[in-house]
Structures are given as C-alpha cells and as structure tokens.
Amino acid sequence: MNAVIFLRVVDSNKAVVAVSNYMYQTSQFAQTTLRSVLGEVELDELLAHREKINLRLQSILDQHTDPWGVKVTNVEVKQVDLPETMTRAMAKQAEAEREKRSKIIHAEGEFAAAQRLIDAAHLLAMEPTSIQLRYLQTLTEIGVEKNTTIIFPVPVDLLAGLLNRVQAAPAKIAGSAPPEK
C-alpha cells in the first residue's frame, strides 16, 4: 500500500519540542494507520469510496499529529498492490459479472422481441387484410432472390372449413342412402 500525505507545521515550537522528528513520526504513524484502516474495508469499498477513505485517514492522522503542532492537510491512497491469487479471483469475478450482464441483456432482448410479436399478432388479427398484404410483400421479397422453390402457405381457416366439409360428407351420404329392403 502506498499513500501520499500533505502536512503543514502550524506550531514550530511543538513540532520541535513535543516530538523528536515530526516528519519521521508522522510518516510512521501514517503507515500504521493506513494498514489498519485499509484492513477494515473490503476491496470493492476501497475502489468505490476512495475519497471517503482518504478523508477518514486524514481525520485520524490530524487528531494524532495536532499535539505535535502538525496539521495533515490531505491524504491520498496512491496504490494498493494485491497478491496474484487475489488478482485472479477478481478477474474471475469480473468475468462472471460480465457474463451475467450479457445473459440478462440477451434475455431482455428476447422478451422485447416476443412482446413485439404478440403486438404484431394482435394487430394482424384485428385487420385480416393486413395478413394478405404481408403475404404479398413476402412473395415480392422471395421473388427478388431468384429462388427456384416458392412455398405458398395456405391459411388454416381455409383448411378448417374444408376439413369440416369432408367430415360432414360421409354423414350426408349415409343419411341419403335408400333404406334396405
């Protein structure tokens, strides 16, 4: 861990008399305080709230150096070196988080597409002629591609009507046959 401390001597008598070497003592106290404060916070908090931690360090240091006639004006955490195992674990966590966000975005896209298809189906159901127009537009698009095979979909309603007639025909034939003697 590295940090930078900015300080100012406000009472030179205390800085010389109250402590043997105010620069060395402030530096030593800052190092131990830095270790203890950063040891209390999680890495995510350190990265996200660095300014808050800097202010906390400054407050602690300033309280302890005030009797020496020294004012700590600013503290900046400069660098935090992590062990390699911690770096690998953080990389895995970040990768998992990116994959999670990717899956969520993909699922939201699928949901939006499904919702749009439902909206389109409702709209087409309200206007039967729009289905015919869409059908003709699709045929135009197929024709441009110079395909050799064109599939003509047949509306299900038409097939249902034919199926009902075919099922009714044997009953009519059976009902119109002359009675046996």
Judge if pTM exceeds 0.95. Answer: no
- Where do the domains of the chain lie? 2-81
Does residue 61 register a pLDDT over 80? yes
Does residue 17 register a pLDDT over 80? yes
Q: In the predicted model, what is the mean pLDDT of residues 162-174?
A: 68
The structure tokens 């159901």 sit at 125
Q: Which fold has domain 2-81?
A: Tetrahydropterin Synthase; Chain A (3.30.479)
For the stretch 116-141, pLDDT in tens is: 999 988 888 888 788 778 877 887 77
The per-residue pLDDT for 106 is 95
